[in-house]
Amino acid sequence: MSPKDKAYLESVIEHNSLLNSDVVPLDDGDAYSSDYVGGSTKLNDRGYPLKWGRVIRTVSKSVAFEEMGEECVIATITRVMNGVLKISAPYQLSTRMRHSVIEKPFKEQSVRKAQFLRIGKTKDSSKNWKLNAVSLITGGTENANVSIDELNLRAPSGEWISLKSPNENIWPFGVNSPHITTVDGETDVEVAVRLESTEVEPNMVVVRSGYKGKWGQRTLLPLKFENALGDRYIHTYENTVRAQSRPGVFHAVVEAISRETLCDLEAPVLTRFWGIPYAVQ
């Protein structure tokens, strides 16, 4: 791969909407919504959190290329996000009117891969390469006591996306093919997520979506099933999520947040998330 080809691939990554819509849903913009359901754990002696939300302050990106012979290049795109998690908590258990905002710093990383195939050997790099497929997004904080084991999405058409590991099939999504789930705006999509955790009580699990300039598309997934597996716990969360109305290519990000993150003033922010692309027509 020549320096000119590399510069072209970097430009594609920089401007492709599919490869640049994964961070947007992760930014709540501020604390909002009283959708906390973290079991019996309270925010120390203050009661349950009133509102919460992630605010991303900075994002840095790095791209590493790996040549898989002369006909294929794999780009690994890593983004590091720094910000604060805002938690609105009551002053006293006897009232929910007066409250304070607690801010916890966090550092998260998201990783995805893009596959480029050679289609020519000309002097014009744009005629030499095409973006052929992208991988699932994986991310979260460096340490967390929860992992995502399985994600299922079903569109109204009956089309399923079922993923049991981000590495099970690294290229589940073609760029211009039916592999990207397509739904009509304002339709319902069934979502089910299975987590493995060291905690018997449920974590906060939400599905995030949205587009630049509009925050707050966060849907809670309530706990539906729970099972013990040795010293760990398998929890399944389900809900029906309404697709947004704006047409385009977006990401649905499934995020698990430890209950200590929202309920222990001294605990760090601990998260895990997967993100998959979808199209609204």
- Looking up residue 258, the CATH number of its domain turns out to be 2.70.50.30
State the pLDDT at residue 154.
Answer: 78
State the pLDDT at residue 41.
Answer: 47
- pLDDT tens digits for range 56-94: 999 999 999 999 988 999 999 999 999 999 988 765 555
State the pLDDT at residue 178.
Answer: 54
Across 115-129, 150-164, 206-220, least confident range: 206-220
State the pLDDT at residue 197.
Answer: 84
Quick check: 50 pLDDT over 80?
no
Quick check: 161 pLDDT over 90?
no
Share of the chain above pLDDT 90, in %: 30
Domain that holds residue 233: 3-280
State the pLDDT at residue 97.
Answer: 47
Which position has the higher pLDDT, 192 or 200? 192
- Tell me the C-alpha distance between 208 and 205, whole Å: 10
Structural domain count, the chain:
1
State the pLDDT at residue 61.
Answer: 94
Q: Which residues of 164-203 are buried (b: 16+ CB within 10 A; e: fewer)?
A: eebeeeeebbebeeeebbebeeeeebebbbbbbbebeebb
Quick check: 51 pLDDT over 90?
no
Which position has the higher pLDDT, 176 or 78? 78
Which position has the higher pLDDT, 211 or 43? 211
Strand partners for 22:
none
Tokens standing for residue 33: 């919504």
